[in-house]
Amino acid sequence: MQKGVEEVPYGFIKHIESEGYSKETVLSYRKVLNLFIIYLNSIYPEGKEPYEINPSDIKNYLSNQLQDGKKISTLNKELGILKTWFNYLWERDIVKVDPAVKIKRLKTTDSLKIDITYEDIQLLLPKVLSNPSYQPIRKVIFLLATKGLKTSDFRFTKDDILISEKNNEIEIPLSNRKLILKDQEADHFLEYYNSTLFNGSDFVFITNKSKEGPVAIEVMSILTHLRAISNDYLPNFDIQLTLVNMRRALISYLYTKKKLSIQQIAAELGIEEQSAANYLNKLGK
């Protein structure tokens, strides 16, 4: 699957049409598989053929979609579609090993829980930013995670950044909102940003791949930094910080402590009002 190619290859769509799948089902299969291909193309600039896809690619895709706000029930349907596609490829010897066959459905829960409060996260922030052993990237990933960023939000380019030295302010345009960093937060971001100017990529945050070189940052790179912070500062907590539980904590805080409305929370995080309502409903708010 070459870079830029987003149509489902190897005749799969024609196959399910010939099997009598309804138009609606065919459309849903096409949509999910195209999203998966677009995701792979965003991670692997040179593209990745089906026989090169491994279970981690599928799991990372599902994790990325979960952090972007998709429901577990929706992701389980998408996993079922991916399993059908890879089984089709395996039966035709296009892939020697089916990378999806052993991937289990995600466990659903009726409610979400708050692993750590946003107040605790706020207490961590100055400690993380002042830690002399931390590289600037770790500090800035945590800083942006406290703002409720998803994995996809970290994939902005250097040209996207607006720097106001006069006001000591950084503006980061995200997909559905603008993030403003001021004063000390702006200083930390600028220190890291300047260190990336010659990293060989247009992206501010990157993951270095052994074969492809620098690509837009992947979720596991972010989690590596958050886990290190968890181990250093939360040894007595039975949790590991993730973008998901930090985002949940922020949403709960905005609603219960800051008394923001669902509409205001949606605007603050750049999400749909229904998504904000769903989060709060599952958090029991």
| Backbone φ and ψ of 46, nearest 5° | -90, 5
Query: Is the pLDDT reported for residue 5 higher than 70?
Result: no
Across the chain, mean pLDDT equals 88
**What pLDDT score does 6 carry?**
47
pLDDT grade, residue 23 (50/70/90)? confident
User: Going by C-beta distance under 8 Å and a sequence separation of 6 or more, which residues neighbour residue 220?
Assistant: 60, 207
**What pLDDT score does 108 carry?**
63
**What pLDDT score does 135 carry?**
96
Query: Is the pLDDT reported for residue 282 higher than 80?
Result: no
**What pLDDT score does 166 carry?**
83
The token pair at 174 is: 């995200």
Percentage of the chain exceeding pLDDT 90:
58
Judged on CB neighbours under 10 Å (0-12, 13-18, 19+), 123 is exposed
Percentage of the chain exceeding pLDDT 70:
94
CA distance 11 to 141: 41
Give per-residue pLDDT as tens, 219-264. 999 999 999 999 999 877 778 899 999 999 999 999 999 999 989 9
Note the pTM of the prediction, 2 decimals. Answer: 0.63
**What pLDDT score does 1 carry?**
52
CA distance 36 to 85: 11
More confident residue, 151 or 277: 151
Segment 149-171 mean pLDDT: 93
Segment 113-139 mean pLDDT: 93
More confident residue, 112 or 119: 119
Residue type, 11: G
Q: Evaluate whether 214 touches 208 at the Cβ level (below 8 Å).
A: yes
Count of C-beta atoms within a 10 Å radius of residue 238: 6
pLDDT grade, residue 66 (50/70/90)? confident
**What pLDDT score does 111 carry?**
57
User: Going by C-beta distance under 8 Å and a sequence separation of 6 or more, which residues neighbour residue 274?
Assistant: none
> Looking up tokens 């979400």, which residue turns up?
112
Q: With CA atoms as reference, report the closest residue to 154 among 100, 221, 234.
A: 221
Query: Is the pLDDT reported for residue 49 higher than 50?
Result: yes
CA distance 169 to 178: 12
**What pLDDT score does 284 carry?**
67
pLDDT grade, residue 54 (50/70/90)? very high
Segment 1-22 mean pLDDT: 72
Query: Is the pLDDT reported for residue 4 higher than 70?
Result: no
